[in-house]
Every structure is written in structure tokens, then in C-alpha cells.
Amino acid sequence: MKKFYITTPIYYINAAPHIGHAYSTVSADILARYHRMRGDKTFFLTGTDEHGEKNLIIAEKEKINPQEYADKVSLLFKDAWQKLNISNDNFIRTTDEKHILAVQKALQYLYDKGYIYKGEHSGLYCSGCEQYKTEKDLVNGLCPDHKIKPTMVSEESYMFKLSEFSGQIKEAIEKDELLILPRSKKKEILSFLKNGLKDISFSRKIDWGIKLPWDNSQVAYVWPDAFLNYLTGLGWDGTAGKTPEMWPADVHLMSKDILRVHATIWPAMLLALKLPLPKKLFIHGFFLVDGQKMSKSIGNVIAPNDLMNRYGVDATRFLLASATPFGHDGDIGIEKFDEKYNADLANGLGNLISRSFSLYEQMKKAGIELQKTGGEAENYKGHVFSHISIENAWKSYGDSLNDLKIDRSLALLFGSDSENRGLGVVNFLDNYITSTKPWELIKEKDEKVGKIMYNILERIRHGAWMIYPFMPEIAEIILDSLGFDLKKELKSNFQDREKWGILSEKAKIKKPKILFPRINS
């Protein structure tokens, strides 16, 4: 059995979840559901990053202790992911006792081995990023992400020998042993590594964080604390050289603002701890809202609940997944979402399902039964319908998801990719129905319509499975309407489900409710 381990970043709790967080999490959930559907042993980890100076400052402003603040905001993330039907196997919090003990054990090992040493650190520190910056990182003297001027910090600190691992990290990235996608991000990191890496601070003198086991006057810097979640979330106890069953991660999914630390500090820690590197870092872009970056001050932050209240859970998942080519920035907005919802879901998939099941009901009332079609190509009035196109569809769909091209798999599914017409479900069946005119054959009581309707409904069955990772509730409704129990089917062999001809001629077929009511902007 293949294994698949995927992670999101653990989200910093300085604010409630927004659609940028939701985009990462839904994307990871789609990939996790796809691999489970294929029968792979799958583990999906997400969670919250709860230490750091910024959270301490916010808690002080709210006049509560930092643990109370962490509990409150972490719960917002848990609730949002539950509402979005996220299928994570664990939700890790960096304030979990087991995580804290494992981090202390790992840091003690690094200290004992000489990878951590006492020194003094000076640098430009952005409290928004919780990262040190160089002058080259700044734009007009400001952090480009947070638009604030970093503070010059000089303090006694425990330093990590990051410089010692510069060559090994560079070689691993060059050879794709640590694969960074999209490829442009690999080039970016290799350019950054040209001049080597410098030792970095691994501790802070603040009152909120994991205390260093050999010096309780300091706490672990937020990044090494956070990175180790990818191991502790699997039950790792902090023992160097002890590799958890599901490690290494097959995909670390993240946004571009945290790529550099994931491609330098994190692999260096793993090398020092004698653990394998993750296989892949996949970097997705940011969302712009009507051309502007989301900002509280502008008032354009979109919360996941805003979308779910407007479109429903599964439609929200679809809209996020299809908003932009995966790995690139995307410009979104409610008006754009409304247009896509109506075009692809209400008038597209929803209309196809309603139209197809209505035709089936008309055929049954006319006393005509479904006629199962075999593997041979069906040619009716010049319209060729072949099971081979389904085989090609599954291959293209699987290749796209295995390559993390989430938006591409949706384009194939809906038939909106002009290079792959005929592979999708929605456009293909719309054209097939228009060409074969089953309503005319029903009026004429032509029994050939039994074969045509079988082709339509069986292709819809395939489409429901392809939709499942993206819109699991909608897929379940469609499959139930065709007489299948999704939960039971998930326990069967996937290769059997993607074959042609699984739908029974005697299936108890019923028309589902309206799946996607139109949105009036």
C-alpha cells in the first residue's frame, strides 16, 4: 500500500481564519481525499501555531493570559475546518503538552551535540513575520508583506549552526531530493543560497513560548517550535534518528511568504536530528481581493463563513479550488465568485444533473428501461460515445492531482480545457444530450434511448467520483441518486469503481434535489 502524508502550515493565531487559510486547507483536503479514494494510506495534518511575541502582545491588549487567547483563536480554526468538511487526521497545537515535551527533547539533543550555542544576535526583526530581515528583503525600508519598519534587535541568544548545513541543503534542492514547486520557487531559493547561510537565533527572552530545558530564562524561537509539529503531529516524541511511520512528508503545502524558512531552517533541523527530508514543498500564491491584498484596514478580508453562508460548503470548496492556477496568485471577489458559481455550478453541473435525471424519469414513464452498454464505441447520429474517453479522463484527472495541478483536474472534469474536450463530464454530456435528443426518442418510444440514458447516467457516476475530493457532499447526493452508498463504496477497490459499466440496469434511481440554486448578485 502506498502512503501519502500531507501538511498545511500550522496557522498563526494573531487573527481569525480568512480565505487564504481556507485555500491552503481545502487544497490539502482535496489531495488527501483523492489519495484515500485511491486506497493509499493517508495522513493529513493541520493545526495552529500559538507561541511568539505577537500573540503575547495581542493577549496583553485583550487583558487575558496568552493561553486563554490561544484557546479562543485555535477554536475558531477548528470550527472553520469542521464547517468546511476538512478531513484532517490530526489538529496539532503548539501548546499541546506532548508537542512541548518533544520540542524540548529535540532542542536538548541539538544543544548537547553542539548545533546550538550561546551567542548574541543582532538584526532587523519584523514582528509581523516573526522573522529577521536583511536590508535586501525590505522595500523602501519596510517589510514587503506587513508594510512595517523592522526593529533593530540585539540580544543574548542561543544560536543554531544553520551555516553548517548550507551545502547539503543546496545539493538536496538542486537534485530535487527536496523538490520545490513551482519550479520558479526552486530557482528563487537556489539564488538565495548562493552566498551560503548564516547562523540564526533559536531563542527569545520573552514570557510566552517553550522554555529551553537547559536555560529557563529563554524560550524557543517560534520557527523551530512550529516546524517540529510536522513530526509531533505524527506522535514523534523528540528522539533524534527515530522516524515516525508516515514520515517523510510527501507534501508540505504553504504560501510563498514562508518558503524561505521551510527551505533552509527546517531541512537543517532535520539533518541535525538525523531524520529524512520532506519530499516536496509546494508553494501556492496569495489571493488579491479585487486587485488589492486582503487587509483589515482596507476592510476587504473575506472569512470562510462569508462564502459558506452565500454559496454553501461544497460550492465554497469548489470556488476556492478553481479560483486560480494552483501555485500562482489569484484575483478574487464576491462578484467573480457569483459569476463562476452560476456558470460552472448552477448552469453547469447542477443543470446537467437536473436535466439528466428528468429525462430518465420521462423515459421510465414511457415504459422504456435502461440498456447497459459495453466497452464498444457507441455511434448514434454521428455522436461517438466510447468508454475509452472515460479511461483517458481518469488518467488525465489522476495525473493532474498527482502533479498537484488541482485547478487543471477541475478543468478536465468540467470539460473547460479546450485541449481536452471530450474528457470532461459536464460539457461532454451537455453536447451528447444535445446531439442525441433523447426527449425526441422518448416521444417516439424508441428503445435506443435506453442505451443513451445508460451512457449519460454511467458517465455521471464517474463524474461523481471525480467530484468527490472537491465536493464530497454533492458527490454523495449524486451517487445516492444512482443507488450507491458512498461510504460503502469507499471501502471497495478503487480500480473497480473507475471501470465502465458498474451502474446496474435495475438501479433504484431517483432525481436529487436542486444542487446549486442560482445566485442573484
- Could you tell me which of 318, 308, 309 has the C-alpha nearest to residue 346? 318
- Could you tell me which of 513, 425, 519, 437 has the C-alpha nearest to residue 477? 513
User: Which residues in 376-508 belong to E strands, given as ranges?
Assistant: 378-380, 383-385
Q: Are residues 469 and 345 in the same domain?
A: yes
Q: Are residues 142 and 212 in the same domain?
A: yes
Output DSSP code: residue 142: B
Does some domain include residue 181? yes
Length of the chain: 521
Does some domain include residue 328? no
Q: Are residues 228 and 364 in the same domain?
A: no
Distance CA 428, CA 420 (A): 10
DSSP track, 306-351: HHHHHH-HHHHHHHHHTSS-TTS-EEE-HHHHHHHIIIIIIIIIIH
Q: Are residues 274 and 340 in the same domain?
A: no
Q: What residues are labeled active site?
A: 18, 21, 126, 129, 143, 146, 293, 296
| pLDDT, position 385 | 56
What's the pLDDT band for 100 if we cut at 50, 70, 90?
A: very high
The position carrying cell 447520429 is 381
With a CB cutoff of 8 Å and minimum separation 6, the contacts of 25 are 8, 46, 81, 84, 86, 88
Does some domain include residue 503? no
Q: How many domains does the chain have?
A: 2
Distance CA 341, CA 319 (A): 7
Q: Are residues 263 and 407 in the same domain?
A: no
| pLDDT, position 98 | 98
Residue ranges making up the domain that contains 251 = 3-284
- Could you tell me which of 510, 511, 493 has the C-alpha nearest to residue 502? 493
Output the domain CATH number for residue 132.
3.40.50.620
**492 vs 12 pLDDT, higher one:** 12
Does some domain include residue 513? no
Does some domain include residue 325? no
Q: Are residues 275 and 402 in the same domain?
A: no
Q: Please state the rounded mean pLDDT for residues 444-451.
A: 93
Q: Are residues 355 and 268 in the same domain?
A: no
Q: Are residues 47 and 146 in the same domain?
A: yes
Q: Contact, 2 vs 36, CB < 8 A?
A: no
* pLDDT surpassing 90 at residue 496: no
**476 vs 334 pLDDT, higher one:** 476
Distance CA 180, CA 371 (A): 50
* pLDDT surpassing 60 at residue 118: yes
Q: Please state the rounded mean pLDDT for residues 189-204.
A: 95
What percentage of residues in the chain have a pLDDT greater than 90? 71
Output the domain CATH number for residue 445.
1.10.730.10
What percentage of residues in the chain have a pLDDT greater than 70? 89
Q: Are residues 384 and 485 in the same domain?
A: yes
* pLDDT surpassing 60 at residue 386: no
Q: Are residues 267 and 382 in the same domain?
A: no
Does some domain include residue 297? no
Q: Are residues 356 and 221 in the same domain?
A: no
Least confident of 23-37, 418-432, 499-513: 418-432
* All three cell numbers of 380: 448514434
| pLDDT, position 403 | 94
Q: Are residues 400 and 474 in the same domain?
A: yes
Please identify, among 243, 268, 284, the residue that sits at the C-terminal boundary of a domain. 284
Does some domain include residue 508? no
